[in-house]
Structure 1
């Protein structure tokens, strides 16, 4: 297990209609990278940096050279703080091969294997979630199981609208243009 200590800040961009502390997906079917394969638990995704959170949320198709303002509309930015140390199962470094995975599996957009691994980790360990690497900037992200809901709280930065200047700056970080109508 890897640990992130109490008092650490986690960043996320999320739909404005959802709470900053939202464990999803909404329905029973998996949607995102480490969602429960059978809907038996929910996941909250966050990143260690604001840039990584932006990339994981908005740089979904790297070949597209721009990020449309309409993609950002309806989303907000929040920051969470850990209230205790998080115990995270590492799917970083050589840890991916322990499950017969490669970084192609972990970073790809075909999620059947990562759903299966998430289910195995949730069922067989007491981990609070999964530590993984962003496919966009090689920085760390977390997929927290809902059983770790007591380990996070909102910071003062909660559900803040994303300004065009913030979107432009962060899009440029990934070599993208921010395009407003």
Structure 2
């Protein structure tokens, strides 16, 4: 993918992260500010770099990491405790200002970038775009974007900036102070396991 770098430069900002929520599998709790390879919106389609995601608020982190599209078209909303017990919550901060490509709001449209890069459920276009940003704009640390689920701000941080990141000691997601209110707001019922009452 060819980027019009002069246009994208108009949307590059610098900002320091402070306590951005991140939900991750408990098996990775020893490295709360790390990430492995995997398929996600802005991951490398060739596994040439890793990406860490965080959100600027808990409801968005919960939507992106846990709920996703699972309740689409469903009147009953269940989450199962064994699944949530395998997840933990940390807060990501940076020790320096990060250089961010800001794709929030109408940025993709205004810049002539395929809007699927930030809004589509399928991640193929976003991955191709992210690979081009990573390779052609080597000073950019991350992509700042709106969640397609909540419109809250999210950040996808390239591994070249991981050394500037830290995460709080993770707590189990079920122990998160903000979880009960979010469960209630979304009308979710927690169950011990499938087929049993909560």
Q: TM-score range by the shorter chain?
A: 0.7 to 0.9
TM-aligned CA deviation for residue 129 of structure 1: 0.7
User: What is residue 37 of structure 1 aligned with on the other side?
Assistant: 45
Query: In the alignment, does 2:28 pair up with 1:15?
Result: no
Counterpart residue number, 1:3? 14
- Match for 2:149 among 136, 142, 163? 136
Listed as ranges, the gaps of 5+ residues in structure 2 are 1-11, 193-198
Contact 1:12 1:46 in 2 (8 A): yes
Q: Give the RMSD, CA atoms, in angstroms.
A: 2.0
Determine the C-alpha separation between the residues in 2 that align with 1:70 and 1:176: 19
Separation (CA, whole Å) in 1 of partners of 2:119 and 2:189: 24
* Distance in 1 separating the partners of 2:147 and 2:47: 24
| Shift in Å, 1:122 | 0.4
Kept after mapping to 2: 8 A contact 1:67/1:176: no
What are the equivalent positions in structure 2 for 1:68-79 lying under 5 Å apart?
Answer: 68-79=80-91
1:119 pairs with 122, 125, 131, which one?
A: 131
Please, which runs of 5 or more residues in structure 1 have no aligned partner? none
Distance 1:100 1:137 in 2: 21
The residue that corresponds to 2:4 in the other structure is: none
Q: Which runs of 4+ in 1 moved over 6 A?
A: none
Displacement of 1:40 after TM fit? 0.5
Q: How many pairs align?
A: 172
Please identify the structure whose Cα radius of gyration is greater. 2
